[in-house]
Structure 1
């Protein structure tokens, strides 16, 4: 789709399902070289899937693992031109009943993990004089509040603060840092949230799904590909005058 992305090295963190899987497939279709990192993979060294596709295990919440992956890519002359951080988790409970451990776990992955990825891979890009792109999958929950999701909402608000600050700091290096804020996207995580959130509210998962649709002006929920398309735009030359932005992909549900 964008010839400029051919042979660009793209690291996708959180790549095994949902939005991350769609992002991987989209960049492979663009003839990029894709490194897919995910906690579910069992290979500690880069595993070649084919000549343009590699997989590796990564727990983004562990700083040592992020640092070691950065060093491994440097040693293999595979410093990313583009980083896409999709990794994220959610927990469901009302604030007064919530567990502190769930709050901390959510921040460890969503916020600390994003911080680690941005810290180490931005440094690698700068050290190797790469005018790169960093794209973080945040959420419309980084702009709004949602019942039963205090930890997730707070973590995504923090992520947007990180990308704004980092975008200012890396602008002199021509490293553009932006976030994508998906709305209601049909993923495995969303399906689980409907079950757990519905139980909190005395609703079936199907009733929650219908409520979801009713809140979207376009009258449909999103697909992982809807999000991957915007990621591709942010990685492309078409977004060369954009940094520090948080772009909604919500079907009109969030407009700010």
Structure 2
């Protein structure tokens, strides 16, 4: 199972914040983390430079891929920060490990091979994250309406995966199947999006296929063991809030034009719920 410090580094990589442990109350819940990951990519797509988030204030949307910023401070306990100069520029987030993680539901898929086996969640195919290790998030009994969304029956929500780079910047392409390499189809899709704003692909993207999510995921070099890891969020998506794109391996939660920040955040929160932090060595 993932080392605790390694999990904090992974959360830092996803959120772009310095995530540290605390013995006090957590500043953010697992739901807040999926909100931040989704909203950061959406607002970058919209051309914004910052995101305002409750309890954290202003978060930068600047892409820092070229900087080695995706490791949390060394110490797990509260105390003086050991972060470098670049890390000190990022927002620090403190979480209570017992409140945030749920080790009882950790699962090691590293050596699992499903082959032709079929799995369902909400009567829809579930592609298990074979090759990855899951640190379970504490989300049981955290939502109104009970935990059916998290189950395996027909009332469960389907599984989706989200990496921090799934920013929807290719919204028209993803939603309509066109690409710059197939210019007529791409231009036709672009023209259609101007006529009908509802099909612009404006919103938050995720995928039911872990292999697709891996292509878009964040990577970070761990200070725990010096290895480089990939990190992805494992979520459940509200089938009533999801739009299936022309590409079957992409799903969209549409954000209406002129939505306020509060409404945008509420749309994400009603649509996507996290339950696992997935890690894989490169």
Pairwise same-fold verdict (TM > 0.5): no
Higher Cα Rg, which structure = 2
TM-score, normalised with respect to structure 2: 0.28
Larger helix share, 1 or 2: 1
TM-score, normalised with respect to structure 1: 0.30
